[in-house]
Amino acid sequence: MRTQQFLGVFHRLLEVIARGILLLVAFIRGPAQSQPPIKDLTLLHSATTLALKIRNRELTSEDVVSSYIERIKEIQPILNCVVAQRFEEALKEARKCDELLKSQDAPSVEFLAKEKPLFGIPFTTKDCIAVKNMRQTAGLVVRKNTVADKDAEVIKLMRSAGAIPLALTNVSELAMWWESSNYLFGTSKNPYNTRHIVGGSSGGEGCIQAAAASPLGIGSDIGGSIRMPAFFNGIFGHKPSKGIVSNDGQYPSAHSYDQDQLLAIGPMCRFAQDLTLILKIISDKNADLLKLNQKVDISKIKLYYMEDDGGQYLISPVDPEIKAAMKRVVKYFEQAHKVKATKLNIKLLKKSLALWLANMACKDEKDFSYELTNRNGQLNIPLELFKWMLCMSNHTFVALFTAIFEKFGLKHGSEEHVRLMQQSKDLYQEFKVFCCFYFDLNINGDYYYYTFLFFKDILGEDGVFLYPTHPTAAPMHNEPLFKAFNFSYTAIVNVLGLPATACPLGLNKQGLPIGIQVVAGLYQDHLTLAVAEELERGFGGWVPLAIQA
């Protein structure tokens, strides 16, 4: 216990020192860059609204696609979020949409709304999800010439719904870090302050959405890769229930059933109403399981929350401003909907990191070192570290560190691995049947009163759990190296396989986005999405940086 306490104190001290050094470096480099203001008001519409306007001939698809192309050209030199584009192809596809609407055989508005709800709408996705005839590098130098020969299943479904792929966005190397930076495309920068990160691995996607350079996007999430970028960039992001959306076409693909259950592909966007629309499309035949058409009465939900994980070692404490935002949400639901939230203390959440690492453990040496060779043998890590020190390696330091960590970390099938996998199951059961004892002693004459509270099936079909998405707002570039395990707040939800929606709650005192994640029971995605829309109404949702009238 003393060793753990010492490590905790040392970690806090290291964080403070690292932050001070990074602030000094930032001061020397000069002020943060400002992104250009939004001039085209078309960019301020939700994807749902744009699709409606195109169907009703109030806007043309070509105009919409052109608006987003111009916006990308404005912000890309500053934010570096796009790694590949298909502007000409997208414009041609947009013109075909407009020509169809003008033709004698034009489909009815009702048909388009039902069968092609994103007709003529451009969208973006991360450079891990295959788009036919576009590169699929996953930020790995050796894959720089790899071109996808077919669409990922989610891209195929988006095209079937009428959407038009526009560009690919930046990721961390092999999508296994929470800062989007690699040696192929460089580092993406936060729209709210370019000194800060955009998150990862769907960081370029979070960035392009926040900068109003794409109406909607598709990300993937194995430990928080949708929700952390959504949180850092002040947008909405949804990790669906496990097994709902096909992972086909995502690279790297999962090596085991356990990993595949952790991985989820889902929507990222500025407006909460678009989440449900996109999820209906990409969940395809599984959409009925999610009851997305079912209206949610907010006043009937059961609300639970925790302000932090109980104090994991080597994890940063939750910022007071994030805790304050959580309290405002709790108060809002009580005042606006008479829903009184219950504060929980789930002790197993203190083991979030260990549980996620156990579920990620690889067998047959198909670990991160194997992935770094593009699945062609094992990387010579000592040699690569030496090359990195000479600025000759094709791999980032954090990728090499991850490979080393795995080599000396938890082994698949070990006694500790088996124990942690069982605890993962225990935690899932604790969310299903959670007992909470409240002991209160009141003396009234000779009588003692004890209160026993019992919550059976805590989430069920009407419960939602509010939990921090991350303990801090977006760190400065390279700062995650000193806070490597802070992703545990999102990772534990992947272990549980539950749906979770990252919801923005405005900006902190430094002007950076903050928010929370909303978790529900398995296949109860409609609850988290309904709460997201309610929080958008109550707290404003995405905050545009600058609009030029």
Question: Residues with catalytic annotation?
Answer: 126, 201, 225
Q: Which residue has the tokens 């298909």?
A: 86
Contacts of 284 (CB under 8 A, 6+ apart): 153, 157, 246
**468 preceded by cis ω (within 30°)?**
no
Residue 342: how many CB atoms within 10 A of its CB?
16
Please name which of 507, 505, 501, 510 lies closest in space to residue 529, comparing C-alpha atoms.
501
Q: How many whole angstroms separate alpha carbon 272 and alpha carbon 538?
A: 12
Whats the size of the chain, residue-wise? 549
7: tokens are 């490590």
Long-range contacts of 100-106 (CB under 8 A, 24+ apart): 101/54, 101/55, 101/57
E strands, 181-222, in order: 181-182, 186-187, 217-221
Amino acid at residue number 386: F
Q: How many whole angstroms separate alpha carbon 524 and alpha carbon 521?
A: 5
Angle value at C-alpha 530, between 526 and 533, nearest 5 degrees: 140
Q: With the CA atoms of 502, 506, 507 and 508 taken in that order, what torsion angle do they form, in degrees rounded to the nearest 10?
A: -90
What is 303-335 written as a DSSP string? EEE-SS-S--TTSPPPPHHHHHHHHHHHHHHHH
Contact status, residue 258 vs residue 268, Cβ threshold 8 Å: no
